[in-house]
Amino acid sequence: MVVIDVARAKSDPAHAVAKTAVARNSNRFAGGGSAQSLTLLDAAKIRGNEDAGIGAIPAGAFPRELRVSTDGQTLYLTSFGSNSLQVMDVWRLDPKRP
């Protein structure tokens, strides 16, 4: 499996393979409005048998829509169960940043 940055694939295909990916962890059918999370993944490790998890971010109940701004700087997450919108700075999410 390879994670592709779709916006970058159009403008800079040589550098379109993402380094970090984000997965939603929603427990939609558990009931209630309990918070769930996002998992940060090392995209290079997704291809192999290594544990790709590199961190977690708390999220609202039933995280649903996940989008990155057109400039690639901001991550938006809607949580259906808690009627919320989280806005995150992509640069700060990368645990490998200097």
| Per-residue model confidence as pLDDT tens digits over 43-90 | 778 777 788 888 888 888 888 888 888 887 888 999 888 899 999 988
Residue 98 has pLDDT above 60, yes or no: no
d(CA 54, CA 98): 15
The model's pTM:
0.69
d(CA 60, CA 87): 12
- CA-to-CA separations, 60 to 8, 13, 51, 55, in angstroms, rounded: 29, 34, 25, 17
Comparing CA positions, the residue from 77, 78, 74 lying closest to residue 89 is: 74
Strand blocks (E) in the chain: 20-25, 36-42, 53-59, 63-68, 74-79, 84-89
